[in-house]
Amino acid sequence: MIKDATSVEIDETIQKAHKAFLMYRNLGGKEKAQLLRKIADEIEALGNELISTASKESNLPEARLTGERGRTTGQLRLFASLVEEGSWVEASIDTAIPDRQPLPKPDIRKMLIPMGTIVVFGASNFPLAFSTAGGDTASALAAGCTVVVKAHPAHPETSNLVAQAIWNALEKCNLPREIFGHLHGKSADVGKNLVLHPLVKAVAFTGSFHGGKALFDLANQRKNPIPVFAEMGSINPVILLPDALKHRSESIATQFAGSITLGAGQFCTKPGILIGVENADLENFIAVLSQQITNTKPATMLYEGIAFNYDCQRRILSAQNGVKVEAEASTPADKGQGLPTLASVYATEFLKNPTLHEEVFGAFALIVKCKHQGEIQQVIQSLAGQLTATVIGEKEELLNSKDLVDALREVVGRIVFNGVPTGVEVCYSMQHGGVFPATTDSRFTSVGTGAIKRFVRPVAFQNFPDELLPSELQASNPLNIWRLVNGEWGKV
């Protein structure tokens, strides 16, 4: 039986992680890269035991989890390449001008350094890629931080397996086991004690708005407040432009039926509202999408609590004034399953009812019918922060819809053109974050190499002897990285 970590265990784990940080922060990029690659190797070495355990605990199919394992190991290796090359530290150098008048100019050199021990909360919907060795842990270790993970209570044994893989990798790299800590806890007190510990320097979280905001508030009540990088969900609006629906409404409907119901709708980037101008083409789109939803069988959700919450939320939204249920899956949902549902509402009702703006975590989507494109603009401007927005249209329509795109830029982190938002590529250019309440800090991403920037801070060294500077800032550039020297990029 998995037991909650006690306050004593939490303190001991963080104390050890902090002590390990004092060594780990000075590890070179090549050594950190070796560790990250070894963690990926050890996760793969778990074989089918990891996949079958994760499937049993999460109700996710093994094929999906096999892909997720590939994403997990892939992002570990991507961060390994990033830190091995080394330019990510943003080294910046302004050399001295001692005879400058009226005052001499000092020698100032700046770079990013790791913050300390990071607490990572495992996510329920991604037991591998956003959990124990997921993107938060990978980016924090890449930055030179030590990590303490609180396993998600929905998949504790999966988390244990991955934690052991990380410890095996640390041992094989001759590094202290305490660089990585692993704790369990269903009680809110475990999370509270982790966030409030004075040696914790930042928190990473993926989950509900309620959970993320609670951690954010706790962190800001500390004597020394710390950043909480919480990704808290989104309704991910989709703009359906008229010409696109006129020419390909059926294919668009089929595409979005798959995106809405993918993984029982348990993706933070699931399209939750679809906005279009009311006309015959939109009605045809709704008819095709409704048929697709009707034909989709209910899927078992991650655990019964999520299924219960989904059913409550979809019923609440479906019962709002002016909302029409367009379709439900024809097969009844069993216990623990989510019933795919499509509803519609006119923009006038949507604009005055905040409840309709809330995320429904599951296979539910709401069509918002507008009288004209100006009303679409009003709907966009009424939205809170989002992770993504999607524009479905012809190229000429997009060129003529600059105002819509500009409005979307103000509230989202990623804008998709003629695609679905549910695929989040792990790469250098990905932005997975958005304006509050999608995330607590829209300047950062939790996916892609940019995620490393959450766990570092800049430090400048003024008039330091060259031999006492970090290698990244020494005059000879021994690491041969890209640096900004007197305003010019180069490897000098």
Q: What is the sign of the dihedral through the CA atoms of 301, 303, 305 and 306?
A: negative
Q: How do beta strands 483-485 and 488-490 pair?
A: antiparallel
How is residue 383 written in tokens?
A: 């939205």
Quick one: 423 exposed, middle or buried, by C-beta within 10 A (0-12, 13-18, 19+)?
exposed
Note every long-range contact of 471-475, with CB atoms under 8 Å and residues 24 or more positions apart, other chains counting.
Answer: 471/28, 472/86, 472/89, 472/91, 472/111, 473/91, 473/93, 473/109, 473/110, 473/111
Residues 6+ apart with CB under 8 A from 26: 144
Among the options 42, 57, 68, 231, which is catalytic? 231
Q: For residue 289, what is the enclosing H or E element?
A: helix 280-295
Measuring CA to CA, which residue among 200, 347, 338 is closest to residue 278?
Answer: 347
**8 A C-beta contact, residue 120 and residue 147:** yes
Q: For residue 381, what is the enclosing H or E element?
A: helix 373-382
Alpha helices in 115-241 (DSSP H): 135-143, 156-172, 188-196, 209-221
3-state secondary structure of 475: coil
Please say if 326 is a catalytic residue: no
Q: For residue 415, what is the enclosing H or E element?
A: strand 412-417
Measuring CA to CA, which residue among 163, 132, 184, 141 is closest to residue 33?
Answer: 141
Among the options 145, 268, 278, 375, which is catalytic? 268
Give the C-alpha separation, 265 to 257, whole Å. 10
Measuring CA to CA, which residue among 57, 56, 32, 53 is closest to residue 43?
Answer: 53
**8 A C-beta contact, residue 449 and residue 428:** yes
Please say if 231 is a catalytic residue: yes
Q: Which residues are catalytic?
A: 231, 268
